[in-house]
C-alpha cells in the first residue's frame, strides 16, 4: 500500500527487490533503480533516508509496530506513476524524450571536464550526472540510449550510469571537491562548512540550513574594472530561500528575488567583496519548498529605473563621491580667483 501511494501506481502488486550485487545484496535490499537513496537499497550513494516503504515492510513482518511519524521524506520516484516503477529506465527516458519532457530523475549528460552541474533529486545539493563510458559494452538489457550528444552510434553500448545495482541507469549524484587528493567540501547545500572561499565564489552562492540547489541558466561572471572571471564548472548552485504569502523568495547576498512561477528566469547582479556578480537563475516551484503558495502568475514588469552605475575601476565609491564634492566646492573659489585677476 505504501509503495502504491509513493509512486502513485494503484496497480502495483509489490516492491521490487534487488537482483544484483551478489550474496548479501541480491534479494536482500530494495531495487536501487526504483528507490535510489532509500536506506535499505544495496549501496549508499547520497542522502540516505528511511522511508515509509521500509517501515511498512518491517511492520508487515509482524515483529514490529511502525511509528510512521519518524519516516523521512523520499523524493526519488514520488508520484512518477506506473511506467516509472514497472518498466525500465530506457522506456521512461524514451517516452519523456518523445514528449520533449525532462527525463528526471534520470539524466543523459556525460560526466566530463568541465563539469555540467545540476541538482540532486530533492534539490538540496549540487550534483553531476553519473553517465560514463565503460571499457566494455554493457549487457544488451542495460543499453539505454539510441543517441547521446557527441557520442558516435557505435559507441553507445559502452555508456551507462556508474552504479551497477541501479541497473546502470544514469542519475544525478552529489559529489565532493578535492585538492591534491585531500577532501575540501561536499556539495550539500545545507552544510554551512561547504561555503566556497570568497575568491572562488563565482556564483555568489550561500550554503546553510535554509539553502537549496537552483539551476543556473548561464555561467555567472565576476567583474571588476576590466577583469572578468568565470568558472568552467557551472549549471547549478546553492542559494538561500524563504517562503512568504507572495511566494518563494530567493536571496543572493542581501538582495531578494521573488519567484512568481516555476521556470521564471531571475537576472542577478549584485556586488560582493569588491566584485560584481552577474548571472541568471531559474525559479523552482514554490511548492517544492513551501507549505502554502499563491497561484503561479507572470512576474511583474521590470522596474526600468536605473540605479547609478557602479564604478568597477575605483577603489572606493565613497572616495569618488568625496572627490566630486571637493571639486564642486573648489569651482566657486577658482571662479572668484579668475574674476579678480
Secondary structure (H, E, C), 153-212: HHHHHHEEECCHHHCCCCEEEECEEEECCEEEEECECCCHHHCCCHHHCCCCCCCCCCEE
Q: Is cis: bond before 214, omega within 30 of 0?
A: no
Provide the grid cell at 7. Answer: 509512486
Q: Which helix (H) or strand (E) holds 131?
A: strand 131-133
Q: Which helix (H) or strand (E) holds 271?
A: strand 265-272
29 labelled as ligand-binding? Answer: yes
d(CA 191, CA 201): 16
Looking up cell 549524484, which residue turns up? 173
d(CA 137, CA 143): 8
Return the ∠ at Cα 232 (arms to 226 and 237), rounded to 5°: 100
- Alpha-helical (H) ranges within the chain are 2-7, 52-60, 82-86, 89-98, 317-340
- Residues with Cβ within 8 Å of residue 176, at least 6 apart in sequence: 183, 184, 185, 186, 187
Q: Is cis: bond before 6, omega within 30 of 0?
A: no
- Residues with Cβ within 8 Å of residue 196, at least 6 apart in sequence: 185, 205, 207
CA atoms within 13 A on the CB side of 79: 2
H helix count then E strand count, the chain? 5, 14
Q: Which residues are annotated as a binding site for Zn(2+)?
A: 29
Q: Which residues are annotated as a binding site?
A: 29
Amino acid at each position: 500500500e505504501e509503495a502504491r501511494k509513493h509512486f502513485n501506481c494503484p496497480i502495483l502488486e509489490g516492491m521490487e527487490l534487488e537482483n544484483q550485487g551478489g550474496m548479501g545484496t541480491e534479494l536482500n535490499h530494495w531495487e536501487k533503480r526504483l528507490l535510489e537513496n532509500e536506506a535499505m537499497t544495496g549501496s549508499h550513494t547520497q542522502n540516505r533516508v528511511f522511508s515509509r516503504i521500509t517501515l511498512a515492510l518491517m511492520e508487515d513482518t509482524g515483529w514490529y509496530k511502525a511509528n510512521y511519524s519518524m519516516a523521512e521524506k523520499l523524493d526519488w520516484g514520488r508520484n512518477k506513476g506506473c511506467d516509472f516503477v514497472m518498466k525500465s529506465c530506457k522506456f521512461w527516458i524514451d517516452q519523456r524524450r518523445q514528449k520533449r519532457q525532462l527525463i528526471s530523475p534520470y539524466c543523459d549528460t556525460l560526466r566530463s571536464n568541465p563539469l555540467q552541474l545540476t541538482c540532486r533529486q530533492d534539490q538540496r545539493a549540487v550534483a553531476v550526472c553519473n553517465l560514463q563510458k565503460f571499457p566494455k559494452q554493457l549487457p544488451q538489457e542495460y543499453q539505454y540510449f539510441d543517441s547521446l550528444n557527441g557520442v558516435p552510434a557505435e559507441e553507445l553500448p559502452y555508456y551507462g550510469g556508474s552504479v551497477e545495482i541501479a541497473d546502470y541507469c544514469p542519475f544525478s549524484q552529489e559529489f565532493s571537491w578535492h585538492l591534491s587528493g585531500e577532501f575540501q567540501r561536499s556539495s550539500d547545500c545545507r552544510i554551512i562548512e561547504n561555503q566556497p572561499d570568497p575568491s572562488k565564489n563565482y556564483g555568489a552562492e550561500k550554503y546553510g540550513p535554509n539553502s537549496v540547489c537552483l539551476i543556473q541558466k548561464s555561467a555567472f561572471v565576476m567583474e571588476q574594472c576590466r577583469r572578468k572571471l568565470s568558472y568552467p564548472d557551472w549549471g547549478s548552485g546553492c542559494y538561500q530561500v524563504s517562503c512568504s504569502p507572495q511566494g518563494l523568495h530567493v536571496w543572493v547576498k542581501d538582495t531578494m528575488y521573488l519567484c512568481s512561477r516555476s521556470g521564471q528566469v531571475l537576472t542577478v547582479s549584485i556586488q560582493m567583496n569588491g566584485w560584481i556578480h552577474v548571472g541568471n537563475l531559474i525559479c523552482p516551484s514554490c511548492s517544492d519548498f513551501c507549505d502554502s503558495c499563491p497561484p503561479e502568475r507572470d512576474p511583474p514588469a521590470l522596474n526600468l529605473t536605473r540605479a547609478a552605475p557602479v564604478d568597477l575601476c575605483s577603489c572606493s565609491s565613497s572616495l569618488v563621491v568625496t572627490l566630486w564634492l571637493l571639486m564642486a566646492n573648489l569651482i566657486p573659489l577658482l571662479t572668484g580667483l579668475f574674476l579678480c585677476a
